[in-house]
């Protein structure tokens, strides 16, 4: 029986590999690991479209895609997350689920069962506050405003971008000031924060995000852009919600 079980597992793994290698019209994208029962698979990890995943028999993992859709896989599985175009018109997660199931792999689409209190659509317009004393990547939605937090005991900081230096000051007892209107920000812009003497304090990278179609899409886009500090609280909440929804009843 053990020999037959090993043979069946080998056939499943080979089929999964063939699914990836044989999908001539496959479309792949990076995903974010939401939760997993497998040690070493850390929530928040970016899973690239070239990465081979391995889930043992009985193991499971949930992945979040940029679209905001989520996929649950149950082991045994070994392969890449590739969504092949479907003859039936399916696309995205639906096509991936159909393809995986066709190879005998336990795959299903999952959804959040309640509103995400810590996430938000990029269209809602939030205040993104930057600490010029801490290196980080910040994601900015189309209607967000950007503010600079005043470091303790500091009244002036310099922002350097591509050799150009701009001085910013906090008047009086102001704790925050809005980002200078004449200092336009493009996606991926890198600013070095300097003290009054020109010594480096931190590196700030700003990412421009499109409006999210859903809370889960915002979480995915933010993490894929590198804005971990902003998105990880919402990811943890999403993981708790997902685990509760897929947990066996009774």
Strand, coil or helix: what is 232? helix
Q: Could you read off the pLDDT of 165-198 as tens digits, one per residue?
A: 999 999 999 999 999 999 999 999 999 999 989 9
Task: Decide if 161 is inside a domain.
Answer: yes
> How many domains, the chain?
2
Q: Which domain holds residue 187?
A: 122-208
- 208: β partners: 140
Judge if 96 and 195 occupy the same domain. Answer: no
Q: What is the pLDDT of residue 31?
A: 95
Judge if 106 and 126 occupy the same domain. Answer: no
Q: Could you read off the pLDDT of 105-125 as tens digits, one per residue?
A: 999 999 876 555 556 655 578
Q: Could you read off the pLDDT of 1-43 as tens digits, one per residue?
A: 444 444 443 433 333 333 332 333 334 479 999 999 999 999 9
Q: Could you read off the pLDDT of 89-108 as tens digits, one per residue?
A: 556 788 889 988 988 999 99
Q: Before 76, cis peptide (omega within 30)?
A: yes
Task: Decide if 17 is inside a domain.
Answer: yes
State the Cα–Cα distance between residues 208 and 144, nearest whole angstrom.
10
Q: What is the pLDDT of residue 7?
A: 42
What phi and psi values does residue 219 have, to the nearest 5 degrees?
-60, -45
Q: What is the CATH number of the domain that holds 127?
A: 2.60.40
Contact 73, 106 (CB under 8 A): yes
Give the global pTM: 0.80
Q: Give helix 215-224 / helix 228-246 axis angle, nearest 10°.
A: 130
State the Cα–Cα distance between residues 110 and 96, nearest whole angstrom.
13
Task: Decide if 129 is inside a domain.
Answer: yes
Task: Decide if 55 is inside a domain.
Answer: yes
Helix residue ranges per DSSP H, 109-227? 215-224
State the Cα–Cα distance between residues 162 and 189, nearest whole angstrom.
9
Judge if 7 and 92 occupy the same domain. Answer: yes
């Amino acid at each position: 029986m053990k020999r037959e079980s090993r043979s069946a597992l080998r056939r499943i793994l080979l089929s999964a590999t063939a699914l990836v290698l044989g999908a001539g019209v496959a479309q792949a994208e990076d995903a974010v690991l939401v939760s997993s029962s497998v040690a070493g698979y850390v929530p928040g990890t970016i899973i690239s479209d070239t990465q081979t995943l391995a889930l043992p028999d009985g193991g499971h993992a949930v992945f979040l895609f940029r679209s905001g859709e989520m996929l649950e896989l149950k082991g045994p599985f070994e392969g890449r997350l590739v969504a092949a175009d479907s003859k039936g018109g399916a696309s995205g997660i639906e096509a991936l689920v159909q393809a995986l199931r066709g190879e005998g792999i336990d795959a299903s689409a999952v959804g959040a069962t309640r509103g995400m209190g810590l996430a938000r659509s990029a269209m809602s317009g939030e205040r993104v506050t930057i600490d010029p004393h801490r290196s980080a990547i910040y994601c900015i939605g189309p209607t967000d405003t950007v503010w600079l937090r005043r470091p303790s005991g500091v009244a002036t900081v310099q922002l350097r971008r591509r050799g150009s230096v701009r001085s910013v000051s906090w008047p009086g007892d102001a704790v925050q000031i809005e980002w200078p209107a004449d200092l336009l920000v493009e996606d991926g812009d890198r600013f070095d924060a300097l003290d009054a003497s020109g010594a480096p304090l931190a590196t700030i990278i700003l990412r421009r995000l499109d409006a999210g179609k859903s809370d889960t899409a915002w979480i995915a886009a933010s993490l894929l852009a590198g804005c971990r500090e902003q998105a990880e609280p919402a990811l943890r909440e999403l993981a708790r919600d997902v685990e509760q929804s897929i947990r066996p009843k009774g």
